[in-house]
Amino acid sequence: MTAPTPTSPALEIQDLRKTFSRPAVDGLSLTIRRGEFYALLGPNGAGKTTTLRMVAGLLNPDAGAISICGIDARTDPIEAKRVMAWVPDEPLIYDKLDPMEYLEFVAGLWGMDAQRAERQARDLIRVLGLESKASTRCNGLSKGMRQKVALAGALIHDPALIILDEPLTGLDAGSARQVKAVLKERVAAGATVIMTTHILDVAERMAERIGVIANGKLLAEGTLDELRTRTGRDGETLEEVFLTLVAETSDEAAAA
């Protein structure tokens, strides 16, 4: 059993590879520091979700190394999972449980103390605006509400690394603001957030560093300013920068 080391990066990926019918992730390397808000961007089919699913232990890589807070996720997945949370784009929760019961179950999976778990659950329910639905079975909740319940489940055990795949899809403006506020608060408290999103405005405003991948490879990485410099698009929005980067790859692929 490995203990998390305080000085090691929140996530370190080296030469990660996964092939289905074609390479989905092709020698990807990433280092994400502790307490960082990191946005992983890429066009559809770029390999974002595959990468994050491998990090979360939901998919076995063909090759490469994954280290979470200094824990080798491939040799010690249980300890790695203990400090991590995963929120998929589709909120898969139990229809027949209400949000409080769902959170109690998640707390049980992470072996939390009951009193602490209940306190955390009530806080999350309040912060995410779920109080009126706390005793409503999840099959009666809207997609946005379910997404917030799934997020609460991810946060209840205070993970050091929070991985979110398209967390804002299907949320109304008010809910999106609540989710963003909660995530920012977690980052301020020292947690690391890695998020994929197609809403580039959100990535632009929230992420400290941005990684752009396409065809399973990292195209560019850095702060927004660094990416602007890299693409020669000073003063432009992230959307322009992103499209330039992706277009470069398409051109290179076409030329090859």
251, amino acid identity: D
User: Interface with another protein includes 247 (CB under 8 A)?
Assistant: no
Instruction: Quickly count: other Cβ atoms within 10 Å of residue 35's Cβ.
Output: 16
The two three-digit tokens of residue 87, written as one number: 């929120």
Which residue's CB is nearer to another protein, number 127 or number 134?
A: 134
**Nearest partner of 219 among 244, 256, 238, 236, judged by Cα:** 244
- Interface residue with another protein among 65, 110, 158, 170 (CB under 8 A) is 110
Over the window 132 to 171, marking each residue x when it contacts another protein by CB under 8 A and - when it does not, the resulting string is: --xxxx-xx---------x--x------------------
Over the window 32 to 61, marking each residue x when it contacts another protein by CB under 8 A and - when it does not, the resulting string is: ------------------------xxx---
The two three-digit tokens of residue 171, written as one number: 């949320």
Q: Which residues contact 48 (CB under 8 A, 6 or more apart)?
A: 40, 41, 42, 165, 196, 213
User: Interface with another protein includes 3 (CB under 8 A)?
Assistant: no
Chain positions 210 to 229 lying near another protein, rule: CB under 8 A, are none
Cα–Cα distance for residue pair 17/171, rounded to 1 Å: 32
Which residue's CB is nearer to another protein, number 37 or number 86?
A: 86
Q: 71: burial class by Cβ within 10 Å (0-12, 13-18, 19+)? A: buried
Residues making contact with another protein (CB under 8 A): 56-58, 78-79, 81-82, 84-86, 88, 92-98, 100-101, 104-115, 117-118, 121, 134-137, 139-140, 150, 153
